Amino acid sequence: MAHLLEGLDPEGYDRRYGDRELTRRIAPYFRGKGRALVFVTLAVIIAATAGSAVPLLLARTVDSALEDDGDGRLVLLVGAILVAGIAAWLLNLLQERTAGAMAGDVVLKLREHAFAAAMRQDMAFHDAHPTGVVVSRVTNDTQAFATLITLMLSLLGQVLMIVILLTALFVINVPLALVTALVAAVIVAVSLAFRRAARSASLRQQQALAEVNGYVQETLRGIAVARNHSHQQSAQDGLHEVNRQWFRASVRLNRLFSGIFPLLISLTGLGTVAVVLVGGHGVDSGSVTAGEWVLFLEALALFWSPLTSIASFWSQLQQGLAAGERVFALVDRESTVRQRDAIAVPRLRGEIALRDVHFGYDAEHPVLDGVSLTIPAGRTVALVGHTGAGKSSVVRLIMRAYEFQTGSIEVDGLDVRTLDLDQYRRCLGVVTQTPFLFSGTVADNIARGRPGAGRDEIEAAARAVAGGDWLAQLTDGLDTPTDEGGRNLSTGQRQIVALARVFLQDAPVLILDEATASIDPLTEAQIQEGLEALSADRTTIVVAHRLPTVRKADTIVVVDGGRFIEQGDHTSLLARGGAYSRLYDRYFRHQQPDDDPADAPGPRSAEAAPYARAAVSASNGHQDREGQGTPPASTGDDNANRDGEESVIDGHRV
Ligand SMILES: Nc1ncnc2c1ncn2[C@@H]1O[C@H](COP(=O)(O)OP(=O)(O)OP(=O)(O)O)[C@@H](O)[C@H]1O
């Protein structure tokens, strides 16, 4: 059977929880529900007792009729059967309603916890685990786990009824009760043996379903790419693959369940034959009354349902337990971004220092190789370099999206790992290359910068970017609807909305990853205007792709192969005639139609190239290193400059 499950491994953070541990984890979700629990338990007990009374009274009625006890007694017995039946039905109804409400409440809380756990994970987690798979845990698995509650109660009622009836059977006739108990024991033993296999098969099936969810979600998110590159067939093939895994897991589960039922039915059939034979013999010899014989047969029929449904319960029960394991694995997963302390940071001045920071997304591939940089509060630093050099990784570390391996990052002299993470992140205004907008309106998205902000504050933030002129390009100004992700807005417009959002947020530190996608000159001018206004009095770190941003930065840091190879301002770096000068010559200069002759690249005299902002310092600690002078990602002429380029070696302190 192992080949059926090839390629379906649990996710890295999955683990097995024992039943006891799962029970311990679920118990807190019932806090404050003591009365409801007591009521449900009592209702289950009374309903099971009333339900067991029905066959006992029935047996008594048969004997009474045969013994000719009189009509009055018969009517009394029939009335008692009716009352017991109605009581059992009514209590079961009330019990199920109360338990249903309780289960719903548990789903509410569990789902919120699972969602919070997914939200607090580091970006490495989200890189490794497709969104659809995580969504499946937060939605489907929480629900599947909560159905356990109603299932357990129903099982409890059934088992209780079996215990009451079996006790009565032993009191009435021990040999016949032994035959009945033996049949029941065999059925339960077979069901229990089936338990382990069913649980692991259910787990596999749910994993496979989550894989399908994840694949479909990811493919649909990238639908434009799939279409543009005629990837539809390969996308379909990919679905076929994950769908086959789900199919194999489902077939295995189905095989397990389809095998168990015929076996259980046959066992019960044999048991009935035995009770008929032994009971008939007992009636013949006078040791058993006809009513008691009927009771034993009736009991076996009554047992059959709960005993066999123990097996069918297993299906849901195992699915519920497996789902619980998956939910708690998510809740228990520790983010790799770990804070050692939670120092309050109501407001930062904005001085940022990286000291000998080493970082890799995984252990085998170092991305940042001992980078150091100090940015005084209120200054602007532009990170420039070729695609994959490590620019975005630097800002991701400052944002605490990933954990760095060694070195330190300090803000206002405090180790970033000791700060209250939520408060710290609120101090960072982040604008990514293609900002994500939520469905709603442009105003709603700006308002996310400061929840609770009034309309006038939102309007003021919108006007702070290019005087609000950009609103005229939208169909409905601030009330223009936005699709999920902001698909109905251009990349430039999305960046403007994100800038306005940061204006409202009024964060002391601004982190901007400039769009590499082409943006029309008007929008670019508006973004520049907004950026200038925003960065005026706050620390700004820009992953820069545009000349105006680079030129205006207090310090430009050239990133190459995970190292900071040059730092200085535009004029001084041009004067050096090094890596920046070549970047400028081959990339940035072309962005400026009216080339400033003063900007012509090439070595300059030291006097002509004073390093501006002496307070900004950076060093990579790697002297005399060969670099590559290739242009950034968006130039489109990467290959032309990749090879054979002399590189500047620069480990100086500014
Ligand atoms: N989430 C990730 N998981 C694993 N590796 C990554 C991840 N993001 C980036 N990398 C790798 O880290 C290196 C640096 O990437 P980074 O995004 O920092 O470069 P960049 O200089 O910002 O490039 P670009 O200008 O193209 O955005 C690259 O080799 C890249 O492949």
Same domain, 274 and 345: no
Closest CA to 186 of 278, 297, 270, 295: 270
Per-residue pLDDT tens for 599-654? 444 443 333 332 233 333 344 444 333 333 333 443 333 333 333 332 222 332 22
pTM: 0.67
Domain boundary among 332, 351, 386: 332
Work out the end-to-end distance of the chain between its first and last CA atoms, rounded to an integer number of angstroms: 66
User: What residues form DSSP beta bridges with 354?
Assistant: 373, 409
Q: What is the C-alpha separation between 496 and 503, in angstroms, rounded?
A: 10
Q: 401 CB less than 6 Å from ligand 1?
A: no
Residue 654 CA to ligand 1 center (angstroms) comes to 27
Residue 563 CA to ligand 1 center (angstroms) comes to 13
The predicted model gives 570-578 an average pLDDT of 89
The answer as to whether 523 is a domain residue is no
Least confident of 285-299, 449-463, 516-530: 516-530
Same domain, 299 and 393: no
Percentage of the residues of the chain whose pLDDT score is greater than 70 = 84
Q: HSE on the CB side for 252, CA within 13 Å?
A: 22
Q: What is the C-alpha separation between 539 and 349, in angstroms, rounded?
A: 8
Residue 390 CA to ligand 1 center (angstroms) comes to 6
The answer as to whether 511 is a domain residue is no
Residue 403 CA to ligand 1 center (angstroms) comes to 15
The answer as to whether 200 is a domain residue is yes
In this structure, the residue with its CA closest to atom 6 of ligand 1 is 361
286 phi and psi angles, rounded to 5 deg: 90, 5
The answer as to whether 164 is a domain residue is yes
Same domain, 578 and 645: yes
Residue 634 CA to ligand 1 center (angstroms) comes to 14
Range of the domain at 78: 2-332
Single-letter amino acid, residue 104: G
Percentage of the residues of the chain whose pLDDT score is greater than 90 = 22
DSSP 3-state assignment of 510? Answer: strand
Mutate-to-test residue for ligand 1 from 392, 398, 558, 628, highest number of ligand atoms within 8 A of CB: 392
| Ligand 1 nearest-atom number relative to CA 387 | 26
Per-residue pLDDT tens for 174-192? 888 888 888 888 877 877 7
426 phi and psi angles, rounded to 5 deg: -70, -20
CATH number for the domain spanning 22: value is 1.20.1560.10
CATH number for the domain spanning 614: value is 3.40.50.300
Q: 390 CB less than 6 Å from ligand 1?
A: yes
What pLDDT is stored for residue 554 in this prediction? 93
What pLDDT is stored for residue 535 in this prediction? 80
Is 276 exposed, middle or buried (CB count within 10 Å of its CB: 0-12, 13-18, 19+)?
middle
What pLDDT is stored for residue 406 in this prediction? 93
pLDDT at 382 > cutoff 90 = yes
Residue 233 CA to ligand 1 center (angstroms) comes to 29
Least confident of 294-298, 303-307, 331-335, 576-580: 303-307
Residue 106 CA to ligand 1 center (angstroms) comes to 41
The predicted model gives 360-386 an average pLDDT of 92
Within 10 angstroms of residue 623's Cβ, the number of other Cβ atoms is: 10
Q: 127 CB less than 6 Å from ligand 1?
A: yes
DSSP-derived secondary structure letter, 434? S
Same domain, 242 and 369: no
The predicted model gives 10-36 an average pLDDT of 80
Same domain, 109 and 181: yes
Residue 392 CA to ligand 1 center (angstroms) comes to 7
In this structure, the residue with its CA closest to atom 1 of ligand 1 is 127
| Ligand 1 nearest-atom number relative to CA 385 | 21
- pLDDT range class, residue 370, cuts 50, 70, 90: very high
| Ligand 1 nearest-atom number relative to CA 362 | 4
DSSP 3-state assignment of 625? Answer: coil
436-439 long-range contacts, CB within 8 A, separation 24+: 436/485, 436/486, 437/482, 437/483, 437/485, 437/486, 437/489, 437/494, 437/497, 437/498, 438/482, 438/484, 439/481, 439/482, 439/483, 439/484
The predicted model gives 401-406 an average pLDDT of 92
Same domain, 237 and 356: no
Same domain, 204 and 161: yes
Whether the CB-CB separation of 307 and 138 falls below 8 Å is answered with no
In this structure, the residue with its CA closest to atom 4 of ligand 1 is 361
The answer as to whether 98 is a domain residue is yes
User: What residues form DSSP beta bridges with 374?
Assistant: 353, 617
- Look up tokens 């029309």; give the residue: 520
- Distant-in-sequence, close-in-space partners of 322: CB < 8 Å, separation ≥ 6: 199, 202, 203, 206
Count of domains forming the chain: 2
| Ligand 1 nearest-atom number relative to CA 562 | 14
Domain boundary among 282, 308, 332: 332
Same domain, 289 and 375: no
Same domain, 412 and 287: no
Same domain, 320 and 352: no
Q: What is the C-alpha separation between 567 and 588, in angstroms, rounded?
A: 16
What pLDDT is stored for residue 309 in this prediction? 64
Same domain, 315 and 346: no
Whether the CB-CB separation of 347 and 508 falls below 8 Å is answered with yes
Residue 437 CA to ligand 1 center (angstroms) comes to 23
Closest CA to 5 of 193, 143, 211: 211
pLDDT at 449 > cutoff 50 = yes
Residue 393 CA to ligand 1 center (angstroms) comes to 6
Within 10 angstroms of residue 175's Cβ, the number of other Cβ atoms is: 13
pLDDT at 68 > cutoff 80 = no
Domain boundary among 332, 362, 394: 332
Residue 580 CA to ligand 1 center (angstroms) comes to 20
Residue 627 CA to ligand 1 center (angstroms) comes to 17
In this structure, the residue with its CA closest to atom 25 of ligand 1 is 387
pLDDT at 374 > cutoff 90 = yes
Same domain, 215 and 234: yes
| Ligand 1 nearest-atom number relative to CA 394 | 18
The answer as to whether 103 is a domain residue is yes
Whether the CB-CB separation of 285 and 47 falls below 8 Å is answered with no
What pLDDT is stored for residue 359 in this prediction? 94
The answer as to whether 516 is a domain residue is no
CA 93: distance to chain centroid?
36
The answer as to whether 533 is a domain residue is no
- pLDDT range class, residue 458, cuts 50, 70, 90: very high
The predicted model gives 114-132 an average pLDDT of 85
DSSP-derived secondary structure letter, 485? B
- Look up tokens 């969104």; give the residue: 131
Q: 387 CB less than 6 Å from ligand 1?
A: yes
- In this structure, what token pair is assigned to residue 315? 């299906």
Mutate-to-test residue for ligand 1 from 122, 364, 367, highest number of ligand atoms within 8 A of CB: 367
Say if the ipTM goes beyond 0.95: yes
Mutate-to-test residue for ligand 1 from 393, 549, 557, highest number of ligand atoms within 8 A of CB: 393
